[in-house]
Amino acid sequence: MYIADIVNNARLKLDDVVEPYLWSDDELAEYLNTSVEELCNESYLIKDSTTADICTINIIADTANYPTSDKITSIVTAKLDSMTNYLRQIDDGVIADYDGYTITTPSFSYDGSSITLYPTPTVDDILHLTVYRLPLNTINMANAYNELEVPRRWQNYLYYGIFRLAYDKNTSDTYDPQMRDRYAVQWEIVKDKILRESIKSYNVSRRIVPMYGAM
């Protein structure tokens, strides 16, 4: 669906169809944006390996650390052009165990804002990432006829996220704590369902890709 479709449908479900509206289109789009970003930050929803600005990093010899796009929420795989296998991902806690040692198996760590390669590359290269990310564009009415990037099977659940924010708008005609709390509970249930199902997909994605030394 387009962003405009979700906004229009939300207005109908809120029975807010007579002008002046209780909630503007911009407000409903903002609630949608907040809900989608929340989902993307808490689960594995939008997978990407082709958007160059996000998934491709030019590697420079003797440089180990590189900033990553703030759209990335997690990295699934990383692969250098010069290698056939994928790099092993090392958690921050594991890196601490290497203090005083040299990491020789091609690996990487990700701290949420940058990626570090081990050992430090000695030649120029290109790093290709597969990631989960936030939407490329902010959800607002300026982008009303952009397709929503959330997988279609989850799009109808987004109304719960919109409504718990809509009923928290602090005016006499819109503020309804009972309805807000009702939809907030349903939203948490939806987030948990999406998280559990997306974790299965995330784990499968990582298992089917042979990491360095796995073959």
pLDDT tens-place string over residues 18-38: 999 999 999 999 999 999 999
Work out the pLDDT band at 215, boundaries 50, 70, 90.
very low
Helix (H) or strand (E) holding 202: helix 177-208
pLDDT value for 201: 72
Domains in the chain: boundaries: 3-44+135-205, 47-133
Q: For the whole model, what pTM was predicted?
A: 0.86
- For the segment 60-86, the average pLDDT, to the nearest whole number, is 96
- For the segment 182-187, the average pLDDT, to the nearest whole number, is 98
Provide the 3-class DSSP secondary structure of residue 5: helix
Average pLDDT, the chain: 91
Distant-in-sequence, close-in-space partners of 65: CB < 8 Å, separation ≥ 6: 114, 115, 116, 117
**Has residue 125 got a pLDDT over 80?**
yes
CA–CA dist 207, 214 (Å, integer): 10
Residues 132/46, Cβ–Cβ less than 8 Å:
yes
**Has residue 86 got a pLDDT over 60?**
yes
Q: What are the distances in angstroms from CA 211 to CA 28, 88, 214?
A: 43, 6, 5
Return the half-sphere exposure (C-beta side, CA atoms, 13 A cut-off) of residue 148. Answer: 25
